Amino acid sequence: MKLASSGIQHETNTFASTPTTIDDFVRDSNCGANLDGGEIIFRHFRDTGTIHGGYIAATDADPDVELVPLLCARAQPSGIVAQACFDEMLQRFLQRLQNILPVDGVLLDLHGAMVTEDHDDAEGAFIAATRELVGDGIPIVVTLDLHANISARMAELSDVIIGFDTYPHVDMRQRGIEAAQLMARIVRGEVKPVQQFRQVRPFECGWAVKQTRCTDRPSTQTRTSTRCATVALFIEAPCCRVSKISSVMPYRDGLLVTAAPDLLFLRDTDDDGHADERRVVWTGFGTEQSQQLRANALHWGLDNYIYGANGRSDGGLCRGDDSAAVVSAPISLRTRDFRFGQGGYPLPSTSHNM
């Protein structure tokens, strides 16, 4: 049984303005200028408390399994990954995988919160490229950080997603062992995974929990069903808000959300956990500055107005589709903060800092 393994780990902060480049991955991966696979990965990760350390431990213990590690690249949490950097790493992995085909399975050691210049769901793009190369009949088992932003695409194109149980992440080795052992069972025909994906209601702090599972695994901790191979709960990375939302506050029976250039009202009318009502209350907030300098920090004032900070962004505000009111000319914020009443027009604050 031949298993390929690979991975790119990066927790992207979309608020940071400095991009992450190939030099960052080369510096932090310690796998040489070409991000080599093979023996250098065995040397770096054997007997370590990492995902690849778990892959190696599990396959070393199974004489019928050969592990072929192709790439293990990582960079410290930082800004959006340059597209040329991502493409270079992906192509290196795909070429190395092509060179060793056929394989019986692919283990992917990913983070789950990577964003590139072209891909909000970079892990989804990585898994999709892998699936396109190996075809539908080869199982792909993915391990992800607890703070992964899982997409339906990731769950659809992989056979199993396994996430960390702990924070701090002291169970990475165990999850790597679990992934490799489960892969071996899949290849041997002992288990046929059926994966489910569900995004449940956000917590009050704005993070979300996501869950994946497949059948036939004894229960441990949150893995509660004797028919369940693995269950993982994921809390989205707060600095990787790919929708560019910068502020949320409760309002009436919904939420007010700043997502420049718009200020939105969102409401769940049928209690399914999704905002099926979406109205633009105000539009025209500036987008020329970086994310942290755009409209944010919505909150109630003691005078019953709603206040917000505007960073150093300009903007000419007009009413959206929330009201029939007509504004003859956009209201210029001129980089100032703002307030507005429940039925009135926005009033730029007299001070930039509130």
Looking at the fold, whether 223 and 274 belong to one and the same domain comes out as: no
Domain assignment present for residue 353? The answer is no
Task: In whole angstroms, give the CA distance from residue 128 to residue 226.
Answer: 31
Lowest mean pLDDT among 29-38, 54-63, 236-245, 290-299: 236-245
User: ∠ CA(179), CA(56), CA(26), 5° rounding?
Assistant: 100
**SS in 3 state form for the chain?**
CEEEEECEECCECCCCCCCECHHHHHHHHCCCCCCCCCHHHHHHHCCCCCHHHHHHHHHHCCCCCEEEECCCEECCCECCECHHHHHHHHHHHHHHHHHHCCCCEEEEECCCCCCECCCCCHHHHHHHHHHHHHCCCCCEEEEECCCCCCCHHHHHHCCEEEECCCCCCCCHHHHHHHHHHHHHHHHCCCCCCCCEEEECCCCCCCCCEEEEEEECCCCECCECCCCEEEEEEEECCCCCCCCCCCEEEEECCEEEEEECCEEEEEECCCCCCCCCEEEEEEEEECCCCCHHHCCEEEEECCCCCEEEECCCCCEEEEECCCCCCCCCCCEECCCCCEEECCCCCEEECCCCCC
Task: In whole angstroms, give the CA distance from residue 60 to residue 87.
Answer: 31
Amino acid at 286: G
- Look-up of token digits 């290849």: 187
Please tell me the predicted confidence (pLDDT) of residue 219.
36
* 317 has pLDDT over 90: no
Task: In whole angstroms, give the CA distance from residue 11 to residue 31.
Answer: 19
Looking at the fold, whether 59 and 129 belong to one and the same domain comes out as: yes
Which among 204, 235, 266 is the end of a domain? Answer: 235
Region 97-126 average pLDDT: 96
User: ∠ CA(149), CA(276), CA(339), 5° rounding?
Assistant: 85
| Sign of the CA dihedral with 12 first, then 76, 96, and 156 last | negative
Domain assignment present for residue 192? The answer is yes
Domain assignment present for residue 242? The answer is no
Please tell me the predicted confidence (pLDDT) of residue 212.
45
Looking at the fold, whether 254 and 301 belong to one and the same domain comes out as: yes
Task: In whole angstroms, give the CA distance from residue 212 to residue 187.
Answer: 20
Cis bond before residue 102 (omega within 30° of 0): yes
Please tell me the predicted confidence (pLDDT) of residue 204.
39
Region 293-298 average pLDDT: 82
Instruction: Output 244 or 282, whichever has higher pLDDT.
Output: 282
Please tell me the predicted confidence (pLDDT) of residue 165.
81
Q: Which two tokens stand for residue 22?
A: 């190939």
Looking at the fold, whether 41 and 148 belong to one and the same domain comes out as: yes
Looking at the fold, whether 94 and 196 belong to one and the same domain comes out as: yes
* 280 has pLDDT over 90: no
Query: How many domains is the chain built from?
Result: 2
Domain assignment present for residue 174? The answer is yes
Q: Are 148 and 238 in contact (CB under 8 A)?
A: no
Which among 168, 200, 235 is the end of a domain? Answer: 235
Task: In whole angstroms, give the CA distance from residue 201 to residue 93.
Answer: 36
Which among 209, 235, 261 is the end of a domain? Answer: 235
Please tell me the predicted confidence (pLDDT) of residue 257.
86
Looking at the fold, whether 96 and 172 belong to one and the same domain comes out as: yes
* 349 has pLDDT over 50: no
Looking at the fold, whether 19 and 147 belong to one and the same domain comes out as: yes
Q: How confident is the model at residue 247 (pLDDT cuts 50, 70, 90)?
A: confident
Please tell me the predicted confidence (pLDDT) of residue 86.
98
Task: In whole angstroms, give the CA distance from residue 306 to residue 298.
Answer: 7
Please tell me the predicted confidence (pLDDT) of residue 194.
86
Share of the chain above pLDDT 70, in %: 79
Looking at the fold, whether 16 and 122 belong to one and the same domain comes out as: yes
Torsions phi, psi of 330, nearest 5? -60, 145
Q: Are 93 and 86 in contact (CB under 8 A)?
A: no
Domain assignment present for residue 271? The answer is yes
Which of the residue ranges 187-191, 192-196, 217-221 has the most confident prediction, judged by mean pLDDT?
187-191
Please tell me the predicted confidence (pLDDT) of residue 73.
97
Looking at the fold, whether 318 and 226 belong to one and the same domain comes out as: no
Domain assignment present for residue 27? The answer is yes
Looking at the fold, whether 229 and 271 belong to one and the same domain comes out as: no
Looking at the fold, whether 82 and 142 belong to one and the same domain comes out as: yes
Q: Are 343 and 328 in contact (CB under 8 A)?
A: no
Compute the mean pLDDT over every residue in the chain, rounded to the nearest whole number.
82
* 342 has pLDDT over 70: no
Region 50-60 average pLDDT: 98
Please tell me the predicted confidence (pLDDT) of residue 304.
84
Domain assignment present for residue 241? The answer is no
pTM passes above 0.75: no
Region 294-315 average pLDDT: 83
Convert the pLDDT of each residue in 137-149 to its tens digit: 999 999 999 888 8
Domain span including residue 97:
2-235
Task: In whole angstroms, give the CA distance from residue 174 to residue 166.
Answer: 11
Domain assignment present for residue 109? The answer is yes
Q: Which two tokens stand for residue 186?
A: 């899949």
- Look-up of token digits 């007509």: 326
Q: Which two tokens stand for residue 333?
A: 């914020």
Q: Distances in Å between the alpha carbon of 243 and those of 15, 39, 146, 211?
A: 12, 40, 20, 20
Looking at the fold, whether 175 and 295 belong to one and the same domain comes out as: no
